[in-house]
A and B are shown apart, each in its own frame.
Chain A
Amino acid sequence: MSNRSTEFAGQTMQLHPSGALFWRGTSTLILGDLHLEKASSYHRSGQFLPPYDTAQTLANLAAVCDDLRPDRLILLGDVFHDGNAWARMSSENRDRLIAILDGRDTVWVEGNHDQSFVPPGHTGQLEWADHGIIMRHIMDAAETRPEISAHFHPSATISLRGTRLRRPCFIQTATRLLLPSFGVLTGGLDCRDAALSPLHGRDTQVFMLGEDNVFAPPPGLTSQAVGGLKSGGW
């Protein structure tokens, strides 16, 4: 597994190819946008997406936890795709989630999709601060403190020798760190999108998720380019 790390707000953060962030100093795993029961939420509208996303996302999460053994989870919102997701989940999947949470401190930051739902016995937070780092679901453009957020499902595209690859990515600036989505059925927003303009700058670093590694194109991100080079220029 990748040992790609980055320094953020004076802390060493390990970037995991699953899209989770591991803060080894505090044994904390930070991740967001699991969107559990996303597929089944579409069944109502007659789009019968395969109902296996929840089991798969949870299996991925269990694997990361087995790998990194965090003492604490910080869930950065949209763990559930909607407010009824928990009710739709199969008992097996609920048990899977409960088993993952078992024995770990869990911080639930509320998202926009989950409609403030947290499983019984847990409480949600609007935001969470730790070691001077503020964590919330959607970044606040006015924020000046170091901030870790999720919500946008960022992805980046590179081209090299005629092949284009689009992958989920972390985006880091001096004061912000944006996480990719952790769910298996979540689409991506191009990192150059105007919605992410607070993250566009000369020193912006994108970290793209590979199968077993995390990759870093050269720094620099504007609305037209990844990593200082226009995509396609490779």
Chain B
Amino acid sequence: MTRAGMVGVTMRNDGPAYRPHRVDIAIDRVYIEFMVEPLHDDTYRDLSARLQSHPLTGWLQGRGWDWFDHQVRTADSALEGRDTILFAPTGAGKTLAGFLPSFLDLADRGSSGKLHTLYISPLKALAVDVHRNIQTPIEALDLPVRFETRTGDTPASRRQRQKTKPPDFLMTTPESLALLLSYEDAASYFSGLQFVIIDELHAFFDNKRGDLLSLNLARLATLAPQARRIGLSATIDRPQAACDWLCRDGGAIVRVPQATAPEITILQTDKRIPWSGHMARHALDEVYAEIGRAKMSVVFVNTRAQAEFVFQRLWQLNEDNLRIAVHHGSLERELRRKVEAMMAAGGLDCVVATSSLDLGLDWADVDLVIQIGAPKGVSRLLQRVGRANHRLNEPSRAILVPTNRFEYLECVAAQAEIAVNRLDGAAFRRGGFDVLAQHVFGVACSGPFNADDLFAEVTSAAAYADLDRSQFDAIIGFVTNGGYALAAYPQYNRLTTLADGTIALREARMARQYRMNIGTIVESPMLKVKLRNRTLGSVEENFVVNLSPGDTFLFGGQVLTFEGISNAAVMVSKARGGEAQIPSYGGGRLPLSSNLSYAVRSLIGDGESHDDLPGQIRDWLSLHADRSALPDEKTLLVEIFPHRKRYHTVIYTFAGRNANQTLGFLLLRRMKRAGLRPMGFSMTDYALAVWSMAPPADVTALLDPDIMTEEFEEWLQDTPLLKRLFRDAAIISGLVERRHPGQVKTGRQILFSSDLIYDVLRRHEPDHILLQAVRRDAMQGLIDAGRLADTLQELNGHIVCRELDMISPMAVPLIMQISRENTVRSEVGDDLMADMEQEIIRAANVESIH
């Protein structure tokens, strides 16, 4: 079966369909795996003719390019009527593959005056970028295709025009799509839709934006069942699960393996790698030297605080006047756009970036990626590495810079995992009830609905397949009037049941409330940072509370002096040099993937492999082995040692920081009950340290997996973590109104706090659907209960306990770490205040204060 001649692409069908590891792939030899029956030759021939006659083919050939076979395959599959996912590394021409069916279909049918293709991206910036990319051939060939972008930034006049005179292609985000779906004319607006392209599909599986998108897609399937879905995804380890998520029956998968293995090295240094810390201070001279050697580099960091620190240090080292910029989510959008534009134009030598640059903007000229700090996951690292070099058949080059010795091991493990192409298990979450509540409200805004039909539609979305009818009905009750057991005031209800049994918005004007609240991203309260009249960006309110006038902090690469708060903005001036306090931005920390943590444990346990490690890492491991024992993949190491008048119990679970945090809370309870007087805990991805006034006598009993039933249920009832999740859920679900950025509090005091609502609700209606919602969310992310239970179960009976005289080398990071998460507000709250009084009493040398 030869398809040569079609577009000059040969397809090899005689060999194995797909070899997983390190296949060398020339541009014209792409291996593709089809999960469905092979194509009919006739169809393919037909496609071939259509492709040949399409001006895009000539345009490509005129530039010395041609269609990749996977592009043709993807188009063919979608044109045949299948929902299709293309898995391919960066540089494989995914975007064009996604749009190819639309171009061909539109060439055949001509524009119908209706929306033909919807392109959905997780990032506004990406939607804009793709707009630019498809603009090039459309304009060059003068194709009769109207295409527009619609995001939250689109001016009202253009939105209005897009509504009355839809373009053929619309580039948008899940939030803007939700808005379009909530209009009363949504059914007619989408009636001509043929294709829905979802870019960066892998970015949607494990978060609430993905929940929102999956519900929107289910809605579109009702309004425009003919529209085929085309997912464009980075390579992941469970393509079939992704297919189940996106595709309806008969979905197809097209895969393009990594063409060439990336070249990943770990930065070698003569300097001392610290035992703990995350700032890579020791390595920045060498990082700077690498930047100087590269044409253009991206320095990825894990947190915004790291971004600020690294950027400032690089500037101090910058004797060659390299053009270095910083890019992170707290910076003003204008500044970020400016950096992106400069990158695209080749006007920069280096960008220090957080995950704000993770997703696929097309920076063709990056030739080096430097990852500072541990990668935390193989898939994420691969994507970051993929930023370097967008050409399919050239290797990407990356340097890993571990910031401490544990991270060195993690980097070695990640390197090894990438060499054998073992990716992290992609996480798929169960859809959030808060997002569903928002969606149900949106559906009602578009017109009356039948509850049975909507239930069927919602459960057709993979994220909601497990939803049962009683939960769905509870959500309708919630949207109607809060859904409380106590009778409410029907005159205020949002929804009402009509005579024909359908459910409708009680008053059309209520749709405004929905439209002001679309979306699943809830920012923690942010304050603008202002240098005189210029806004530099924003910082979290919590950070500012800890500042006094005269304090300095790093922001946007500058050292700023805090002057005070004025009109809800943080007023700053430029500080003159010196050390600065670093913003402690929350979030941005991903837990270590299970795959990688297993690899790290194996590496530590495998003595022979230590020979390949640098001397100082080897010494550190052997020192730890001498003083204590090395944890490995089969045992659970526990150390108990006295330190500063407390007993520290350190447990090396390697279960990731979220699971460790949960275990910390549970152990506090269990140890309190045992009379050990626990005082607090700290955790990393690798281990957990609990300190107490008395040492635990029986570690096996302490870590018995039954902790996941007894203490866990109790703890779940009143953990402050749920409160934190409730804050988001209250907004997403529409229980309370969203405060928009820059919106100044009008009242003298906060009107009400979602924490107080949570307390009242938990006390009076503990099974309320919104409390169920936060428990459901917590179990899969923040609490990571499944992973913790697995770890404890697996290592039960394999505990190695060492009682030491003093702190062990590996425990140092835990003891050094005094982070905000290490204490338990509600549980030590009063103790904390009592402690504070005691400390003052001691400091003031007074007997008491009354």
Contacts and interface: CB of A to CB of B under 8 A. Distances in A.
Contacts of B548: 224-225, 230, 232-233
Given A163-B825, A165-B832, A217 B840 contact: yes
Interface in A171-219: 184-189, 193, 195, 208, 210-213, 215-218
Given A162-B823, A224-B548, A52 B489 contact: no
Interface stretch (B292-300, B442-450, B604-612, B759-767): B759-767
Nearest to A154: B749
Contact of A162 (B482, B735, B820): B820
A217 B844 CA distance: 12
A4 B483 CA distance: 42
Given A46-B510, A218-B849, A164 B545 contact: yes
Contacts of B837: 215-217
Interface string B798-826: 00000000000000000000111011010
Given A56-B763, A231-B545, A188 B510 contact: no
A83 interface: no
A53 B836 contact: no
B289 interface: no
B395 to A, nearest CB: 44
A88 B486 CA distance: 13
Contacts of B750: 187-189
Contacts of B486: 51-52
Contacts of B513: 46
A214 B820 CA distance: 24
B768 interface: yes
B830 A48 contact: no
Instruction: Tell me whether chain A's interface is mostly helix, strand or loop, or mixed.
Output: loop
Interface string B478-511: 1001111010110010100000000000000010
B547 A232 contact: yes
A152 B748 contact: yes
B757 interface: yes
Nearest to B840: A218
Given A164-B542, A165-B829, A232-B547, A215 B819 contact: no
A188 B829 CA distance: 18
Contacts of A232: 545-548
A162 B822 contact: yes
Contacts of A163: 820, 823, 825, 828, 832
A104 interface: no
Given A40-B489, A48-B482, A56 B760 contact: yes
A185 B825 contact: no
A186 B488 contact: no
Given A158-B833, A187-B753, A43 B492 contact: yes
B549 interface: yes
Interface in B759-785: 759-761, 763-765, 768
Interface string A123-159: 0000000000000000000000000000011000111
Nearest to A195: B748
B841 to A, nearest CB: 10
A45 B736 CA distance: 10
Contact of B830 (A42, A56, A213): A213
A221 interface: no
A48 B488 contact: yes
A62 B833 CA distance: 27
B508 to A, nearest CB: 13
A184 B758 CA distance: 11
B834 interface: yes
B140 interface: no
A38 B736 CA distance: 13
Contact of B760 (A47, A50, A187, A217): A50
B512 to A, nearest CB: 9
A4 B478 CA distance: 43
A26 B734 CA distance: 47
Interface residues of B, number: 58
B752 A187 contact: yes
B756 interface: yes
Nearest to B751: A187
A185 B829 contact: no
A217 B819 contact: no
A40 B490 CA distance: 12
A122 interface: no
Interface residues of A, number: 57
Given A49-B736, A195-B748, A55 B764 contact: yes
B266 to A, nearest CB: 32
A52 B765 contact: yes
Given A187-B750, A187-B753, A215-B836, A50 B830 contact: no
B830 A210 contact: yes
B835 interface: yes
Contacts of B394: none
A51 B832 CA distance: 32
B737 interface: yes
Contacts of B673: none
Given A163-B820, A165-B832, A49 B752 contact: yes
A50 B768 CA distance: 10
B645 interface: no
A127 to B, nearest CB: 20
Contact of B749 (A44, A55, A153, A164): A153
Given A52-B761, A215-B833, A157 B545 contact: yes
Nearest to B581: A232
A189 B748 contact: yes
A106 B498 CA distance: 49
Contacts of A53: 760
A161 B735 contact: no
Contacts of A43: 481-482, 488-489, 492
Contacts of A42: 752
A187 B739 CA distance: 15
A27 interface: no
B757 A44 contact: no
A204 to B, nearest CB: 14
Contacts of A38: 752
B752 A186 contact: yes
Contacts of A52: 484, 486, 760-761, 763-765
Contacts of B818: 161-162
A184 B749 contact: no
Contacts of A218: 840, 844, 849
A37 to B, nearest CB: 11
B822 to A, nearest CB: 7
A49 B735 contact: yes
A6 B542 CA distance: 31
B749 A185 contact: no
A91 B426 CA distance: 54
A50 B765 contact: yes
B724 to A, nearest CB: 13
Nearest to A4: B850
Contacts of B749: 152-153, 186-189
B759 A184 contact: yes
Nearest to A5: B850
A1 interface: no
Contact of A47 (B484, B547, B737): B737
12 contacts: A47-B736, A48-B478, A48-B482, A158-B836, A161-B818, A165-B825, A165-B829, A213-B830, A215-B834, A215-B837, A218-B849, A225-B548
Interface of B: 478, 481-484, 486, 488-489, 492, 494, 510, 513, 542, 545-549, 680, 734-737, 748-753, 756-757, 759-761, 763-765, 768, 818-820, 822-823, 825, 828-830, 832-837, 839-840, 844, 849-850
Name the 10 nearest CB pairs between A and B, nearest first. Answer: A48-B482, A187-B750, A232-B546, A52-B764, A189-B749, A215-B833, A163-B823, A210-B830, A230-B548, A43-B492
Given A43-B481, A195-B748, A210-B830, 7 more contacts: A48-B492, A56-B764, A160-B835, A184-B756, A187-B752, A225-B548, A231-B545
